[in-house]
Amino acid sequence: MPTKSGRDRTEELLIQLNHKLDVLIMVVGFFSIEMSGDRSTTERARLLKMAGLDNQTIADILNTSPATIRTLTSNLRTRRRPR
């Protein structure tokens, strides 16, 4: 039976690590949402965006679409102009 090369084993470990990080990101996201209490979806999306999560991950956590998250967090990218 052929053995895996060091490179194959490294790739396999990186895939496993990536999966575990994805799970950890989701857990942290759920935890932060629970801690945010009665905040609106907009506030929750902004909180997760400021934490560095991408739109797809935020959408998965909040059970909505990435397009909705993009809209809800769009003002984080633009500065308000004085009136």
Give domain status of residue 55, yes or no: yes
Q: How far is C-alpha 82 from the geometric centre of its chain's CA atoms?
A: 32
Structural domain harbouring 38:
9-74
pLDDT bracket for residue 46 (50, 70, 90): confident
Q: Mean per-residue pLDDT for 39-51? A: 86
- Residue 69 and residue 55 in contact, taking contact as beta carbons nearer than 8 Å: yes
- Structural domain count of the chain: 1
Whether 33 has a pLDDT exceeding 80, the answer reads no
Percent of the chain with pLDDT over 70: 87
Q: Mean per-residue pLDDT for 40-45? A: 88
Q: What is the pTM of this model?
A: 0.61
pLDDT at 55: 93
Give domain status of residue 4, yes or no: no
**In which residue are the tokens 């895996």 written?**
4
Give domain status of residue 52, yes or no: yes
